[in-house]
Amino acid sequence: MPQIELTPPQFEFVTAEDQFPAMVAGFGSGKTHAAIIRTLTKKLQYPGQNVAYYLPTYDLVRRIGFPRFMEALESMDIKFKPNKNDAILAIPGAGEIIFRTMDTPERIIGYEVADSIADELDTLPEEQARAVWTKIISRNRQKKPDGSLNTVGVATTPEGFRFVYDRWKRNPDNAPGYRIIKASTMSNAKNLPPGYIESLRATYPSNLLAAYLDGEFVNLVAGSVYPEFDRSLNASSETIKPGEPLHVGMDFNVGKMSAAVHVLRGDDPHAVKEYTGVLDTPAMCALLKREHPGHSIMVYPDASGQARKSNNASESDHAILRAAGFSVRVNATNPRVKDRVLSVNAMVHKEGKRRYRVNPETCPELVESLEKQAYDKHGEPDKAGGLDHIIDAAGYFLVYRYPIQHRVAVVQPLRL
């Protein structure tokens, strides 16, 4: 068998022993080549079992899947029998490679395999990808002779914050066996035609380049509200120290109350705890007092809470906060939404400085909101996706303590 040359990320993916490895890669990084070699490696490793290869559409199976697998098998001097009608490549004495599409999840039925590969899973709508993933795992039930786990590998370009981000990146500690292998376009540069990378740089804006050149998860929705936020560059490892003052941004919504707890390091704010989905203001007060005894708590709430009643109570939300012993810091009216967004963005990144930091371990929903929230068709931060509550809470604190200073022009009458 001829020697197959692989880049370091390709080799890492092909040989990964994790149950669910994902090669998240830029254009031209060789992810499909790596996926094919991984499929053939599994096939030859367990000749008594079958493997499945999934592509988004049948057209891709016909134009890419079959031709590239046949080319690879011929180069490896492995005999095979193609059955294009049933989308199967049979390898005499070594089972079958079964091709299926991901455009109709309900048709992923009627066969069993030991291992699978899903090519470009993240190009599917998130809910469809989730349904496909469930179906693929259900087909992976042929028992291996050595008792090892059935695996499903994924090779995909990151398409924003979709299914692959949610399953592999958002909560990796809650998903054993899920591993990301990053591959940039540059890692495969020697196999690309001259000028290919330069053409990508000339074609795509910076956020798309991060995804399609570097294989990064970024917000691909036009009009991201917080475009400069980066979960790594804006990350904090800070936690609450005994007795230190707490600065709590708070958003009022019965049944969906949110609070973002901050501490100061110098004069830089660090979000270190979040509370979401709390019933009402009395419940939030009880929660904060229970979770943070011995701390002075300054609350920076939605200004409308000075008139609005919490859950039909006779007192306003602000009065309830004061009665609980909290210091309430709020202006007479809320600033314009635009000013609140500008204040957050200025703290996230301005003139090379990233003053606003968020602990991703203790504030996962705040991180997600900063990454994902986009503008709606009216040019306002979108509220339909449920990402607004916790970021609004944090924003009330930031705009109060770190407001945008508007320049005011004073016009005086001209004296002759």
Distances (CA, A) of 242 to 9, 247, 359: 44, 14, 18
Residue 306 has pLDDT above 80, yes or no: no
Q: Are residues 284 and 174 in the same domain?
A: no
Range of the domain at 322: 246-401
- Range 241-275 burial, b when 16+ CB lie within 10 A, else e: eeeeebbbbbbbeeebbbbbbbbeeeebbbbbbbb
Residue 366 has pLDDT above 90, yes or no: yes
* 0.85 surpassed by pTM: no
Q: How much is the average pLDDT of 337-363? A: 92
* Residue count of the chain: 416
In a domain, 223, yes or no: no
> Considering 212, 229, 263, which residue would you say is the last residue of a domain?
212
pLDDT tier at 307, thresholds 50, 70, 90: low
Q: Are residues 202 and 295 in the same domain?
A: no
> Considering 162, 196, 212, which residue would you say is the last residue of a domain?
212
The pLDDT score that the predictor gives to residue 2 is 59
Residue 408 has pLDDT above 70, yes or no: no
Q: Are residues 138 and 23 in the same domain?
A: yes
Q: Are residues 252 and 349 in the same domain?
A: yes
The pLDDT score that the predictor gives to residue 281 is 94
E strands, 14-77, in order: 20-25, 51-55
Q: Are residues 305 and 205 in the same domain?
A: no
Residue 410 has pLDDT above 50, yes or no: no
Residue with tokens 């407001």: 403
In a domain, 234, yes or no: no
The pLDDT score that the predictor gives to residue 360 is 95
Residue 312 has pLDDT above 60, yes or no: no
Q: Are residues 256 and 114 in the same domain?
A: no
* 3-class DSSP state of 2: coil
Residue type, 380: E
More confident residue, 409 or 130: 130
- State both tokens at 157: 């370009």
* CATH number of domain containing 364: 3.30.420.280
In a domain, 410, yes or no: no
* 3-class DSSP state of 284: helix
How far out from the chain centre does Cα 268 lie?
Answer: 26
The CA dihedral of 220, 223, 228, 231, to the nearest 10 degrees, is -50
Q: Are residues 83 and 197 in the same domain?
A: yes
Q: Are residues 22 and 163 in the same domain?
A: yes
> Considering 168, 191, 212, which residue would you say is the last residue of a domain?
212
Q: How much is the average pLDDT of 207-236? A: 82
The pLDDT score that the predictor gives to residue 304 is 83
Residue 174 has pLDDT above 70, yes or no: no
8 Å CB contact between 227 and 207: yes
Residue 239 has pLDDT above 80, yes or no: yes
Cα distance between residue 100 and residue 52, in whole Å: 7
pLDDT in tens, 378-405: 678 888 878 899 999 999 999 999 987 6
pLDDT tier at 309, thresholds 50, 70, 90: low
Q: Are residues 201 and 252 in the same domain?
A: no
Q: Are residues 151 and 263 in the same domain?
A: no
* CATH number of domain containing 20: 3.40.50.300
Q: Are residues 63 and 179 in the same domain?
A: yes
In a domain, 220, yes or no: no
Cα distance between residue 378 and residue 413, in whole Å: 40
Least confident window among 45-54, 120-129, 168-177, 269-278:
168-177
Cα distance between residue 227 and residue 51, in whole Å: 41
Cα distance between residue 245 and residue 120, in whole Å: 48
Domain count within the chain: 2
